[in-house]
Each structure stands twice: as structure tokens, then as C-alpha cells.
Structure 1
Amino acid sequence: MEQYLMIMFRTIFFYVLILLFFRVMGKREIGELSILDLVVFVMIGEMAIVSIDNPKRPLIETIIPMVLLVLIQIGLAMLSLKSKRFRDLVDGKPTIIINKGKIDEQAMRKQRYNFDDLLTQLREKDIRSIADVEFAILESSGSLSVIEKINNPNGEPKEGDITIPLIIDGVIEEENLLRINKTNFWLRQELKKLGYRDIRKLSFCSYENGKFFVDIMDEQ
């Protein structure tokens, strides 16, 4: 009887403790979990299960590695916020699967993403035909973001565009400049005309339909 009570106590204890840990680590939707989040969550869950199955094991032997994992996750999350390169390494980059109505088969092969996957995720968004899609972007979380084609009043399709970041955290995204057939020099000159001379002070900059959107970093 005593053993069963101990199992019940440990189950409730770790349930509350894991909820507390997850709150400390920050809010995430299940589909937005990074690889770091997923690994930490799985390891913490496994540790809790092992401790519940073995009531004679001291709680502190499980709590210490759990706390260590949470601290590691928080530290790496802070590093991810400060370093775009580290963020791309861990989480990966979004991939444009359909670009202005054209399927990028090379991008699909690179992500090991097939047409069955594409059609399934389009159906989940109530899109019946690929012909209705202007852009489809495979996010780093694995979800598919879709922008449908816009029609003119006469019913003819209208070509749209998406926001492509050119600067993130003070770093120029050279790959995205190539997508819009622009150069590093062009970007710097255009930003100087708008009064932005120091790229490092810009947290975000995008170019869409001939217009810039610029956000300046908050002062620390």
C-alpha cells in the first residue's frame, strides 16, 4: 500500500514540476517546437517516468538532471535569440516550395518533401488545387504556410508577392538578395537614402512591392 501511495505522490509531484519547467522555458505551440525543445521535453518526460517506476530512487537524483536540462535549454534559447547563424543551424530555414505559382522541385528534394506531403498539407488548408497557390512556404517547424493567388475584378489572376527579409538582427541575408536579383551594394545605398547608415542597428528589414519595411533595434 505504501508503495502505491508513493507512486501516486511521485506522479502528481512530477506532473506539477514538469508544468512549472515548461512555463519557465516559455510558451510554445506543439507545431512550433524546435529540435532543442523537443529533445529537452522528451528527456525530462523519460526521467520522470523512470523515477515514478522506481519509488526507492531518491527524488533529488531525478530533479538535479531535470533542472540542468532546463538551464541548458534556456541558455541555448538565449543564444538562439542573439545569433541568427545558431538559430538557422538548430531550427533550419523556411523553404519556398511554390514560388509565384511555380513548384520548386529542387527545394522539395532538398527537404525530402514529396508531392503527397504537399497535397496533404494543402488539403488541410482547404485548398483543392495547386493552381490556386501563389506561394507555399515550408516552415522550419514542418508546417506549410500558403498564400493563395489574388484575382483582379475581371477574374484574371493577379501576381502577388511575399515579404522576404533582407536584414535580420543586423546581418544582411545575401541569399534573399539573390532571390530578388539585388546586391549588397544596392541595399546599402537604398537604406542610406532612407537615413539608415549602420546596418548593425537594424533588427529587421524587408523589401516588398518596391517598398522597404525597416525596424530599428531597441537600445539595450
Structure 2
Amino acid sequence: MFFDIVWKTALMYLVVIVSMRLMGKRMIGELQPFEFAIAIMISELAVFPLTEGNTNILHGLLAIGVLVLCQFLLSLLSIKSLTVRTIICGRPRIVIKNGKILEKNLKKELYTINDLLEQLRMLNIQNISDVEYGILETNGQLSVVLKSQKRPVTPEDLGIETKYEGLSLDLIIDGIVITHNLKLAKLDMDWLVGKLKENGWDNPRDIFYAYIDTAGNFQFQPKLKASKSRVMNTP
């Protein structure tokens, strides 16, 4: 009985992880309503075979498979058809215009002023009068366009030219070399080991984190244990 519960739990856990992975890369807070509903149903269906001893686990797997298929088809339809996308996901709605709250639009979305103020605070906006447009997106997040005189100053505004910044790439994570990123940066292990040796470290396994920053510079941080060991062995 014990081992039966263990393998069923492990199996359903893997099934839920794979199912959520197949649903795409959205964060939970960015799920559309139909995606959120499917996520909850998948979780419930995964628990059902574990709590009901007489239930065949294949029934739970079949039900989860049907839900994932439905989600995939709905997502495909929403990509292909603007009408279907609007029906399923709804449309963004303007809730702030020229520093004024649009009360009617808030009521249509069943959105309270407290919800709106909370979202603004999370965006570091204290005054509604600073907002040109506030748009409630289909996933419930608030997008804000500040008035031109309230936006942060950029180098372009000051006529300052800036250097190109590339992509920061992880090279070592907890002692493991990320070979894919090395290839992406058009580098190899010899280069990486050479860089470490320049800084007094021979083994990538002693490095907690290493990366190439946006300016193309090599940065790294040794493991705490390796650093302590080095200090103790230093005469």
C-alpha cells in the first residue's frame, strides 16, 4: 500500500509538471482565465486517483490528457483567429485616461479602486494624475503610460550616445559549466579555464557562479566552501 501511494504520487507529479510545461511559459499571474481554470482542474484531477483508492490511475491520466488537448486547441484557435481570441481572452480596457479614472470601465471589469491603486503602487506610481493611460490587460495586469513630463529621463533625451549592451550569459552555475552558453558566446572550455586561472582558480567546480556581463566582461564568484578552504590552506 505504501509503495503504491509513492509511485502514484511521483507519477502524477511528473504528469502535472509536463502538462503545465506543455501549456507554455506564462507565469501563473499572466495566465488567461481559461488557462488558469485548466491549471486548477489538472491539479484536482491529479489528486483524485491518490485519494480514491479504488480509482484507476489511468482515468486520471486520461482526463488530464483531454484537458491539455483542449487547452492546446483553444490556444491554437486564439492564435489563428482574432474573434476567438477576443471571446476567450477578452480585450484590454482603458481604466485611466489623462489622469482620470474611468468609472464605467472599472465597473465593467468588476475592478475596484482599491485594486487599481494597489497595482499603481506596485508600479511605483503614487499619483493618478501622472498617468496618461492605464490599461487593464486581459490577464488582469495593469499597464501604464506615464505623461511625457513624468517619464524618467533617458540618455536619448539628453543627447548622450551609449555603448551597445549585449546579453548577459551564465557560464558556470554551482560548479557546472553551461556549454550551450559558451557556444552561444563563441567561446570554449580552454578560454573559460584560462580566465579562471588568470584569477587563481584551476577548477570550474570551485566556482559558484560565473557569467559574461552585458559589456562582455567575465565575472565570477567562488563557492563559499572553496574560498574558506583556500584561506585555511594559505600559509
Runs of 5+ in structure 2 lacking a partner? Answer: 151-235
1:123-145 CA distances to partner (integer Å, 9 max, x unpaired)? 11111111111111111111111
Runs of 5+ in structure 1 lacking a partner? Answer: 153-220
Opposite residue 24 of structure 1, the aligned amino acid is L
Asked if the contact 1:6–1:55 (Cα under 8 Å) also holds between the matched residues in 2, the reply is no
Cα RMSD of the aligned pairs, angstroms, is 1.5
Asked if the contact 1:100–1:135 (Cα under 8 Å) also holds between the matched residues in 2, the reply is yes
**Which residue is 1:90 aligned to?**
88
Cα deviation, residue 64, structure 1: 1.1
Opposite residue 27 of structure 1, the aligned amino acid is K
* Structure 2 residue matching 1:27: 3-state secondary structure: coil
Within a 5 Å distance, the mapping from 1:27-106 to structure 2 comes to 27-106=25-104
CA distance in 2, matches of 1:58, 1:111: 42
Asked if the contact 2:98–2:129 (Cα under 8 Å) also holds between the matched residues in 1, the reply is no
Within a 5 Å distance, the mapping from 1:46-195 to structure 2 comes to 46-151=44-149
Cα deviation, residue 29, structure 1: 1.3
What TM-score does the superposition give when structure 1 sets the normalisation length?
0.64
- Look at both structures and tell me which one has the larger radius of gyration over its CA atoms: 2
**Which residue is 1:182 aligned to?**
none
CA distance in 1, matches of 2:134, 2:121: 13
Asked if the contact 1:7–1:53 (Cα under 8 Å) also holds between the matched residues in 2, the reply is no
- Deviation above 4 Å: which 4+ runs of structure 1? none
Asked if the contact 2:35–2:71 (Cα under 8 Å) also holds between the matched residues in 1, the reply is yes
1:133-177 CA distances to partner (integer Å, 9 max, x unpaired)? 11111111111111222228xxxxxxxxxxxxxxxxxxxxxxxxx
CA distance in 1, matches of 2:115, 2:70: 34
CA distance in 2, matches of 1:48, 1:80: 27
CA distance in 1, matches of 2:86, 2:14: 33
Asked if the contact 1:91–1:140 (Cα under 8 Å) also holds between the matched residues in 2, the reply is yes
**Which residue is 2:4 aligned to?**
6
What TM-score does the superposition give when structure 2 sets the normalisation length?
0.60
Cα deviation, residue 7, structure 1: 1.4
Asked if the contact 1:25–1:74 (Cα under 8 Å) also holds between the matched residues in 2, the reply is yes
Opposite residue 78 of structure 1, the aligned amino acid is L
CA distance in 2, matches of 1:80, 1:71: 14
Cα deviation, residue 82, structure 1: 0.9
CA distance in 2, matches of 1:116, 1:43: 30
CA distance in 2, matches of 1:114, 1:33: 21
Cα deviation, residue 91, structure 1: 0.9
CA distance in 2, matches of 1:43, 1:132: 41
Opposite residue 150 of structure 1, the aligned amino acid is S
* Structure 2 residue matching 1:51: 3-state secondary structure: helix
Asked if the contact 1:7–1:55 (Cα under 8 Å) also holds between the matched residues in 2, the reply is no
* Structure 2 residue matching 1:136: 3-state secondary structure: strand
CA distance in 1, matches of 2:44, 2:55: 15
Cα deviation, residue 122, structure 1: 0.8
Percent of aligned pairs with the same amino acid? 37
Cα deviation, residue 95, structure 1: 0.6
Cα deviation, residue 114, structure 1: 2.3
Cα deviation, residue 42, structure 1: 1.2
* Structure 2 residue matching 1:52: 3-state secondary structure: helix
* Structure 1 residue matching 2:124: 3-state secondary structure: coil
Cα deviation, residue 23, structure 1: 1.7
The alignment of Structure 1 onto Structure 2 pairs a total of residues equal to 150
Asked if the contact 2:98–2:132 (Cα under 8 Å) also holds between the matched residues in 1, the reply is yes
CA distance in 2, matches of 1:21, 1:41: 9
Cα deviation, residue 16, structure 1: 0.8
**Which residue is 1:15 aligned to?**
13
Asked if the contact 1:137–1:144 (Cα under 8 Å) also holds between the matched residues in 2, the reply is yes
* Structure 1 residue matching 2:39: 3-state secondary structure: helix
